[in-house]
Amino acid sequence: MTMLYRLDANARQIGAMLDVEAGEDPWAGGHVAPGNFAPVITAGREFVAGPRPLQHAPRRMVPRLWGVPPPPSAMEARPVLSVRNIESPFWIGNLRNSEFRCLVPATAFMEWGKGVDRAGKRVRHWFACTDQPVFSLAAVWKDSEVPSFALLTCEPNAALRSAGKDAMPVIVPADRTVQDVWLRGSWKRAKELLLPYSSSLMAIS
């Protein structure tokens, strides 16, 4: 499970690359760990009630906390970082309602590897996309005690499997039309995007 990612671009740069209104997001670039705030891109309707307008609202970039508070029935009190069961009653209502789907910009994500390095530290692998310097991870947001989000996962590609992983975050293609399917489309269409990204388009360090 992804426990750390990087976003080495500031809010204005992210806005220009992903066609989103950066607003007053204070992000200056750096690492994102669980429990930290990070930029999240929404369809711009979080605070809008009533029927959908005929015209799309502009995308918005807002800070949200990585890690959704668990349901009351959970055995552990730790925040939930990722969505692995898309049919879970805890997630399905938000996933079916496109207003709750979002994109999380990143420049690389980290996965733990096997063994330790020469310094005796656990091996880390960083994965980036060669075709998009800032890529978008599929995510879903919730508002409970805090404005939070969790990342969607899917089957691993060959690169992640070689690192011993049984899942990977969902990377959305750079095509704006495809991104809008995740942000605004029906759940039937959106869940078709929950596929592993091509290993040939990824760099590992």
Is a pLDDT exceeding 50 seen at residue 49? no
Q: Using the 8-state DSSP alphabet, how is residue 185 labeled?
A: S
CA distance 56 to 189: 18
Query: For position 46, what pLDDT does the model report?
Result: 61
- What fold, for 4-204? hypothetical protein yedk fold (3.90.1680)
CA distance 135 to 199: 15
Query: For position 47, what pLDDT does the model report?
Result: 53
Q: b/e per residue, 108-143, with b = 16+ CB within 10 A?
A: bbbbebeeeeeeeeeeebebbbeebebbbbbbbbbe
Query: For position 2, what pLDDT does the model report?
Result: 87
Q: Are 59 and 19 in contact (CB under 8 A)?
A: yes
Q: What integer is the mean pLDDT of 34-51?
A: 78
Q: What integer is the mean pLDDT of 36-45?
A: 90
Query: For position 50, what pLDDT does the model report?
Result: 47
Is a pLDDT exceeding 70 seen at residue 43? yes
- Read off the pLDDT of residues 152-161 as tens digits, 9 standing for 90 and up: 999 999 999 9
- Read off the pLDDT of residues 8-25 as tens digits, 9 standing for 90 and up: 999 999 999 998 988 889
Q: How confident is the model at residue 148 (pLDDT cuts 50, 70, 90)?
A: very high
Q: How confident is the prediction for the chain on average, in pLDDT?
A: 91
Q: Which of 74 and 150 is assigned the larger pLDDT? A: 150
Is a pLDDT exceeding 90 seen at residue 118? no
Q: Within 13 Å, how many C-alpha atoms sit on residue 84's CB side? A: 9
- Read off the pLDDT of residues 61-71 as tens digits, 9 standing for 90 and up: 999 999 999 98
Task: Name the residue with tokens 């990585």.
Answer: 66
Q: Using the 8-state DSSP alphabet, how is residue 150 labeled?
A: E
Query: For position 22, what pLDDT does the model report?
Result: 85
Is a pLDDT exceeding 80 seen at residue 144? no
Strands (DSSP E) found in 76-121:
82-83, 101-106, 108-116
Q: What integer is the mean pLDDT of 102-108?
A: 98
